[in-house]
Amino acid sequence: MSDTATSGFISHLIELRDRLIRALASILVIFLALVYFANDIYAFVANPLVLSLPENTTMIATDVTAPFFAPFKLTLFISLFLAIPFILHQVWGFLAPGLYKHEKRMLMPILLSSVVLFYAGIAFCYYVVMPIILGFLTAAGPSMMTLSPDISSYLAFILKLFFAFGVAFEIPVAIMLLCWSGVATTQGLKEKRPYIVVGAFVVAMFLTPPDVLSQTLLALPMLLLFEIGIILAGIYSKKSQQQEINNE
């Protein structure tokens, strides 16, 4: 390897290190700004469960350290979620110099839409899915049972749901990338629709708690987003073909 190639490789590593540090610093800054409100953040996230609990029933902590660490962990994850736009900005800054103009025009909207869709998935989970799931789960047990959910168990439950719905809402972006890169075509995806339906429910089974309701509430939006992704990919393909014709 020549000295020029070596120096170029080292400069890329240095830039990658700097951007990783900036991304981690953004998470830390947001966390420090939110940690004072950790208990309030946990109360907000736990509100759908609290509203679903029977009267005179509260959440409990089975571990001595749970009242401190559960809100602390939640605040850290919230900080990560909120820092995603800045993290993607660092990713874009690292990749953009090596991209062609048409690649930049394609990837910038995809990065922006991926952030919006991720947040939309979390919002859909919190405002639509959680009240339905928690209302069903808290009412499904025997009448002689007293339900007192543990705060740490609820944290693991809700973070799993947030992540599952946030990732699931990225399906249109994934389809756009697959079609743009030539790995798949809209026609090929349409032909595989029956397998996609089965796959959506299988994925939902692994990403959600073991009940049919939550699996269905994840699988149905995934299928709707799949159809939206095919429509958008088809529109983009037509525009690309038209541009190629005009260039010729």
pLDDT per residue as tens digits for the range 102-117: 667 777 778 888 889 9
Give just the sign of the alpha carbon dihedral 211, 217, 221, 223.
positive
For the segment 16-34, the average pLDDT, to the nearest whole number, is 92
For tokens 């009940």, name the residue.
211
Neighbouring CB atoms inside 10 A of 176's CB total 22
18-23-26 Cα angle (round to 5): 125
DSSP of 33-100, one letter per residue? HHGGGHHHHHHHHHHHHHHHSPTT---B-SSTTHHHHHHHHHHHHHHHHHTHHHHHHHHHHHHGGGS-
Predicted TM-score (pTM) of this structure: 0.82
Distances (CA, A) of 146 to 46, 56, 154: 18, 10, 16
pLDDT at 43: 92
Residue 31 CB contacts under 8 Å (≥ 6 apart), including other chains:
75, 76, 79
- Answer whether residue 16 shows pLDDT above 70: yes
